[in-house]
Structure 1
Amino acid sequence: MTTTPSILLIEDDIDDQEIFTSALAFIDNGIVCSVAANGYEAIMHLNNAATLPDLIFLDLNMPMMNGSQFLREVKAGHKAKDVPVIVFSTASDMKTIQESRQLGAEQFITKPEKFSELVGMLHGLLFPATR
């Protein structure tokens, strides 16, 4: 990505939403980040979006439509099927990681515990040439 990326964060935890968006602002406050509280809200957001995000960060454990259900629906032919999805979860077991990849996740990242680790991880993902 050579320009400032746009992101859709699908996350139901308000604290995690704030930490994630704060980390993005720390990296570059020009990064546009939309937030959906579950997979259903994310599908509605994508359906109504004039432009699709460059990346989708997806939590797995959410009400209404969880991350796995979202992946199934989007990767089955939705207009956002080609947008890379990065699963961003507290899970770290191999079964969950493999299932997410089989459903079409580009990457699987376990949520870091420290803000500085989150900033570093996001920076590396969004601007890999400047690592």
Structure 2
Amino acid sequence: MKCFLIDDDEDDREIFSLALSAANSSSTYVTATNGEDALRILEDQPDYIPDFIFLDLNMPFMDGRSCLKELRKISKLRDVPVIMFTTSSYSKDIEDTLKLGASHYLIKPSSLNGLVEILISFFEGNATTYQLNP
């Protein structure tokens, strides 16, 4: 299981790492701190195709919406689920990102265990399109 996390918050990246290890101990992940960084990583590693992309909405340099638009233009990522991973529960953010091609919209859970449960549901194919934080 290969995940690509695009998030500018260092604490959120650390929590994601812990949750990912608990959800699937054989998983690996790559991180980027913003949309520009993510696109550069994907360009520099042409053979890298993650199983899931987790994308924060609010980031410096290139926000999640702009990054999502660019990710959806990359043919090798056509079938890769892009999960918006954000603190925003604003209905317009949900609607806009789903229209732009996000596969799911996940409000960052308030607990590590909550994130572990959600990651497991994604990996097992049981996630809903929009999930509140548990």
- Residue 45 of structure 1: CA displacement? 1.1
Give the alignment's TM-score, normalised by structure 1: 0.89
Q: 2:112 aligns with which of 115, 123, 129?
A: 115
Change (3 A) 1:67 1:105: same
4+ residue runs over 2 A deviation: 76-82
- Residue 94 of structure 1: CA displacement? 1.1
- Residue 77 of structure 1: CA displacement? 4.2
In structure 1, the residue matched to 2:121 is 124
Correspondence 1:80-99 to 2 at 5 A:
80-99=77-96
Question: Number of paired residues?
Answer: 125
Correspondence 1:22-33 to 2 at 5 A:
22-33=18-29
What stretches of structure 1 of length at least 5 have no aligned partner? none
**CA contact under 8 A between 1:46 and 1:80: conserved in structure 2?**
no
In structure 1, the residue matched to 2:66 is 69
Q: What one-letter code is carried by the residue in structure 1 that aligns with 2:65?
A: S
- Residue 7 of structure 1: CA displacement? 0.4
RMSD: 1.4
For residue 5 of structure 2, give the secondary structure of its aligned residue in structure 1. Answer: strand
**CA contact under 8 A between 2:5 and 2:30: conserved in structure 1?**
yes
Give the alignment's TM-score, normalised by structure 2: 0.87
- Residue 48 of structure 1: CA displacement? 2.1
**CA contact under 8 A between 1:38 and 1:63: conserved in structure 2?**
yes
Tell me how far apart the structure 1 counterparts of residues 23 and 13 of structure 2 sit (CA, whole Å): 16
